[in-house]
């Protein structure tokens, strides 16, 4: 294995998730957006590797997959099959091999979120349930990229350690740069001005190639641009399809209906560009109706930045947009940390207008309430009062009380606990 990769590799939370899955399952599929580091992460634990798209051997590999797939699976384990979807018949072959070897940790599968166009795809006859586990990877959190000092552990908060202390080190300019750069691993190793181009390159690939390749359906790049621009403006909102459709039609004089918009959004979800947030449904003391629509988010804030054609200086002159995209970055990080804790992230909003940006809910029923604020004493106070109102609404006779209430902020200097119990944590202090 290339030692340079080992030296330059920044440890990922997915490393631990992958190792855990390999201990209990015959094969593990790592899925997520392109460029998020799936192959590199898999290489760290693989003992043999087959690169299906190696141009020197690609055609031979495809032919071997048709004639004798078991030959491609031979090697020290865990064996990494990179870009496995080039020969989809490998899926069933791996499932069959796992069954007959009857051993865990045999294979790691990675691949672009965009399957290549092949004229005759083999039919995958088995879902892989019980044989092939999945690990979701996202772009790097600030802790993984080295942009958080990790003074405050989300896991420790769930264990009851709410007496926190930490010092944030990001000013408003730093945060603007981090939002625009995103969590793309390569970008975290590059000079600042070069790193900012990474998201634009990703956006161009999505618009012009990836969204059409995902299901071999030609899609209009200009229409994709309008959709992604609209989606960028609705970050953190429960915008219905009708609103996005109307937004797009303002600059699209051709016929456009909600089904078409929905198909475009679904394609973006398949390639992990979009990851909407489901609603949280707690037991409440009152009969308040809860809004159940998903909240709109890109998987990384830099995608929204590219879709809007912005840069750090633009965010510094438009704090409304900055705040929305800062929220997207925080949601990305919370999702990465929640994966480590075997949890998920949800959004709460009821018909009374009470809203909570993020609820981190673990498998054991524990949960924490999080409000996200870019900064400023007034906004932090508003966030704290929102959290306290929601906490009072929850019926703790029917479910656990929240493990913590947190205002996750950008520009705050210190991590501390207020007299009312609410935690104030700069995002540059948080880790899993």
CB neighbours of residue 348 within 10 Å: 22
What pLDDT does residue 253 have?
61
- Per residue in 190-235, pLDDT (tens digit) is 999 999 999 999 999 999 999 998 887 889 999 999 999 999 999 9
- How would residue 127 be classed by pLDDT, with cut points 50, 70 and 90? low
Give the residue carrying structure tokens 């942009």: 147
What pLDDT does residue 214 have?
84
Q: What percent helix, strand, coil does the chain show, rounded to 5?
A: 45, 15, 40
- pLDDT higher than threshold 50 for residue 428: yes
- pLDDT higher than threshold 60 for residue 116: no
What pLDDT does residue 126 have?
58
Structure token pair of residue 72 = 């491609």
- Per residue in 70-97, pLDDT (tens digit) is 999 999 999 999 999 888 889 989 999 9
What pLDDT does residue 250 have?
77
Strands 414-417 and 166-167 come out as antiparallel
Sign of CA dihedral 312, 318, 319, 320: negative
What pLDDT does residue 111 have?
78
- Per residue in 381-406, pLDDT (tens digit) is 999 999 999 999 999 999 999 999 99
How many whole angstroms from its chain centre is CA 409?
A: 20
CB neighbours of residue 205 within 10 Å: 16
What pLDDT does residue 1 have?
43
- How would residue 7 be classed by pLDDT, with cut points 50, 70 and 90? low
**CATH topology assigned to domain 3-136:** Rossmann fold (3.40.50)
What pLDDT does residue 131 have?
86
What pLDDT does residue 119 have?
38
- pLDDT higher than threshold 80 for residue 278: yes
Range(s) within the chain of domains with CATH label 3.40.50? 3-136
What pLDDT does residue 125 have?
55
- pLDDT higher than threshold 90 for residue 115: no
What pLDDT does residue 2 have?
45
Q: Please give the backbone phi and psi of residue 358, each rounded to the nearest 5 degrees, phi first.
A: -150, 135
Q: Helix, strand or coil for residue 426? A: strand
Q: DSSP labels for 340-377? A: HTTEEEEEEEBTTS-EEEEEEEETTS-EEEEEEE-S-H
Residues 303 and 285: their CA atoms lie apart, in Å, by 39
Q: Please give the backbone phi and psi of residue 132, each rounded to the nearest 5 degrees, phi first.
A: -120, 115
H or E, element range at 272: none
Taking Cα atoms as reference points, which of 36, 67, 50, 172 lies closest to residue 109? 50
* C-beta separation of 244 from 234 below 8 A: yes
Query: Measuring CA to CA, how many Å separate 160 from each of 155, 281, 311, 337, 401?
Result: 9, 23, 40, 17, 12
- Per residue in 332-341, pLDDT (tens digit) is 999 999 999 9
What pLDDT does residue 249 have?
78
Query: Measuring CA to CA, how many Å separate 227 from each of 231, 257, 274, 304, 322?
Result: 6, 13, 12, 11, 20
* C-beta separation of 50 from 70 below 8 A: no
């Amino acid at each position: 294995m290339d030692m340079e990769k080992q030296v330059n590799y920044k440890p990922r939370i997915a490393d631990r998730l992958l190792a855990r899955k390999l201990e209990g399952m015959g094969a593990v599929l790592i899925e997520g957006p392109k460029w998020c580091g799936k192959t590199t992460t898999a290489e760290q634990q693989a003992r043999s590797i087959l690169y299906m798209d190696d141009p020197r051997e690609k055609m031979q590999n495809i032919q071997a997959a048709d004639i004798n797939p078991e030959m491609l699976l031979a090697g020290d384990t865990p064996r990494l099959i990179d870009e496995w979807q080039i020969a989809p018949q490998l899926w069933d072959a791996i499932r069959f091999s796992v069954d007959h070897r009857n051993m865990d940790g045999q294979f790691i599968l990675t691949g672009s979120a965009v399957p290549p166009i092949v004229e005759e795809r083999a039919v995958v006859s088995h879902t892989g349930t019980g044989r092939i586990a999945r690990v979701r990877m996202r772009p790097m959190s600030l802790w993984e990229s080295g942009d958080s000092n990790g003074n405050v552990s989300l896991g420790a908060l769930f264990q009851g350690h709410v007496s926190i202390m930490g010092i944030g080190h990001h000013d408003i300019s730093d945060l603007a740069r981090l939002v625009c750069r995103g969590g793309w691993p390569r970008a975290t190793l590059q000079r600042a001005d070069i790193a900012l181009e990474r998201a634009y390159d990703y956006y161009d690939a999505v618009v012009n190639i990836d969204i059409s390749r995902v299901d071999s359906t030609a899609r209009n790049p200009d229409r994709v641009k309008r959709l992604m621009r609209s989606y960028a403006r609705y970050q953190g909102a429960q915008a219905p399809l009708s609103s996005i459709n109307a937004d797009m039609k303002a600059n699209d004089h051709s016929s456009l209906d909600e089904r078409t918009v929905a198909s475009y959004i679904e394609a973006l979800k398949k390639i992990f560009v979009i990851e909407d947030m489901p609603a949280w449904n707690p037991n409440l003391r009152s009969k308040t109706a809860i809004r159940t629509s998903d909240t709109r988010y890109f998987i990384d804030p830099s995608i929204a930045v590219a879709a809007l054609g912005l840069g750090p200086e633009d965010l510094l002159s438009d704090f409304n947009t900055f705040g929305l995209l800062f929220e997207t970055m925080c949601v990305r990080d919370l999702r990465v940390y929640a994966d480590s804790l075997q949890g998920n992230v949800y959004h709460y909003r009821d018909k009374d207008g009470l809203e909570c940006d993020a609820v981190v809910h673990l498998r054991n029923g524990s949960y924490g309430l999080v409000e996200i604020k870019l900064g400023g004493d007034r906004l932090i106070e508003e966030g704290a009062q929102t959290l306290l109102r929601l906490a009072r609404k929850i019926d703790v006779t029917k479910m656990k009380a929240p493990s913590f209430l947190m205002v996750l902020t950008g520009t705050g200097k210190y991590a501390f606990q207020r007299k009312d119990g609410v935690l104030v944590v700069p995002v540059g202090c948080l880790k899993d």
